[in-house]
């Protein structure tokens, strides 16, 4: 059952009667379109993130630097051998490895 929503009291009509607006629930078709749009956005964000990380990883091994603004300071980096509980710890490990292998 649809219930009218009253407009604020300052929006009365010319005869002083309040107007009512009836809002229809979203149709199944519009809900499907919304879900599809959300899926497309999620896929786009995932692809952009993968591209960024691939490029940043290459930059890390080439120069020893990463785009620090794109990472939270308390990010956790983990691989099968090591774990760093923040960005500074991760950068320290990478720089130490680069130094060790004269990269």
Is the residue at 72 inside a domain?
Answer: yes
Is the residue at 15 inside a domain?
Answer: no
* Longest distance between any two alpha carbons in the chain, whole Å: 85
Q: Cα–Cα distance between 99 and 14 in angstroms, integer?
A: 80
In this prediction the pTM is 0.57
What confidence tens digit (pLDDT) does each residue in 54-89 have? 999 898 878 878 899 999 989 998 989 889 999 999
What confidence tens digit (pLDDT) does each residue in 32-50 have? 999 999 999 999 999 999 9
The helix/strand/coil state of 18 is strand
Q: How many domains does the chain have?
A: 1
Q: Cα–Cα distance between 53 and 5 in angstroms, integer?
A: 48
Number of other residues whose CB lies within 10 A of the CB of residue 89: 15
Q: Cα–Cα distance between 19 and 41 in angstroms, integer?
A: 38
Is the residue at 91 inside a domain?
Answer: yes
């Amino acid at each position: 059952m649809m219930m009218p929503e009253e407009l604020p009291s300052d929006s009365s009509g010319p005869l002083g009667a309040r107007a009512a607006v009836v809002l229809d629930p979203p149709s199944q078709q519009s809900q499907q379109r919304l879900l599809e749009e959300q899926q497309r956005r999620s896929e786009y964000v995932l692809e952009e993130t993968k591209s960024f990380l691939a490029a940043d990883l290459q930059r890390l091994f080439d120069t020893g630097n990463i785009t620090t603004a794109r990472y939270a300071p308390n990010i956790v980096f983990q691989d099968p051998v090591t774990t760093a509980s923040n960005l500074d710890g991760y950068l320290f490990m990478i720089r130490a490895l680069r130094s060790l292998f004269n990269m």
